[in-house]
Structure 1
Amino acid sequence: MRQSSVQMAILEVLAGEGDSHLSALEIYERLKARLPAIAPSTVYRALERLTQQGRVSVSDMGRGVTLYERVGQPLHHHLVCTRCGRIVTIDHTQVGPFFAAIEAAHDFHIQTNHLILFGLCAACRSQPADATT
């Protein structure tokens, strides 16, 4: 199986997920139906290449696994609830001015393209700390 075809299949899987971020295992499971001979190691190597090429971004959303997303979608950021795992997508227009102010104040060029902030959503804040969701 050609690496370029695996890479294209991964990009198609990620494009089909909208705003979702998928783990390597989740990507592998979706590809396995289309490419039965694919091995998990092939997916990991292809994801590494796609990341190095700047075609896939890597995120830590507090799930304990690396998550991947296709680059080229509208630039956005996230709020992640540390209790229930809810993810809220924030448009870059809300964060861009913050980045610009930091760059100007510190004569620094920010290269990150993905800001993730962790906290508690409104629903979890309204529940007692020991409540389970």
Structure 2
Amino acid sequence: MRTEYSTRQKRELMAFLENHDMKNFSLDEIVFSLQGAGAQIGRTTVYRTLEALAEAGSVRKYQNAQGITQYQHVADASRCESHFHLLCKQCGQLYHVDCDFTDTLAKHILAHHGFRLDSSQTMLVGVCAKCAGLEEDRDGVDHDQPCDHGV
């Protein structure tokens, strides 16, 4: 059994992640930010700690559109279990989709295709409203808010 240690480096990394909750960073961006703030922490230490946090569920790990691994701190890991995610292939931003329609889709796929989706791992790839040039005042929709389809 592996023992968990609370090192200064791990505490500094956790503080950085908690201060940037739900924001996406590459390994190098995290290392650069930590070292720029005066932390004496190596790339390997950051990588190993991020991998352990991803395995524990407090950090989401995914590949952005450019194939670069991104890490996103999730304060409430259970929050990601109940919805899909959208990944913009232009800017790499990861969005959470709080929408009843995705539940309907998951139920349909199970009932008609015999396949149970893992919502926490389900990611749809496309182009976000900002990159697509869709403005709230043009189409009347706030693209960052949960939707209500009456489903």
TM-score (norm. length: structure 2): 0.61
Tell me the equivalent position of 1:41.
Answer: 44
CA shift at 1:115, angstroms? 3.3
What amino acid is the match of 1:58? K
1:31 deviation in Å?
A: 1.8
Q: 1:39 is aligned with what amino acid?
A: G
Residues 78, 116 of structure 1: 8 Å contact kept:
yes
In structure 2, C-alpha distance between the alignment counterparts of 1:111 and 1:14, rounded to whole Å:
25
Contact 1:3-1:46 at 8 Å conserved across structures = no
**Structure 1 pair 20–3 and aligned structure 2 pair: CA distance change class (3 A):** same
Residues 113 and 88 of structure 1: CA distance in aligned 2, closer, same or farther (over 3 Å): closer
**CA distances 1:12-59 after superposition (whole Å, capped 9, x unpaired):** 322322432111111112222455321111101111111222221111
Report deviation, 1:86. Answer: 6.4
2:72 aligned partner = 69
- 2:112 matched residue in structure 1: 105
1:23 equivalent among 18, 22, 26: 26
The match for 1:55 is 58
Of 72, 83, 86, 1:78 maps to 86
Gaps of 5+ in 1: 127-133
TM-score computed with the length of structure 1 as normaliser: 0.68
Task: Give the SS at the match of 2:125.
Answer: strand
Q: Tell me how many residue pairs correspond in the alignment.
A: 123
Match of 1:131 in 2: none
Unpaired runs of 5+ residues, structure 2, are: 134-151
Alpha-carbon spacing, 1:88–1:59, altered in 2? closer, same or farther (3 Å): closer
Provide the secondary structure at the position in 2 that maps to 1:113.
Answer: helix
Determine the C-alpha separation between the residues in 2 that align with 1:54 and 1:19. 13
2:22–2:73: 8 Å Cα contact kept in structure 1?
A: no
Report the RMSD for the aligned CA atoms in angstroms. Answer: 3.1
Aligned to 2:16, which of 13, 18, 25?
13
CA drift at 1:61: 2.0
Q: Name the CA shift for 1:87/1:52 in 2 (closer, same or farther; >3 Å).
A: closer
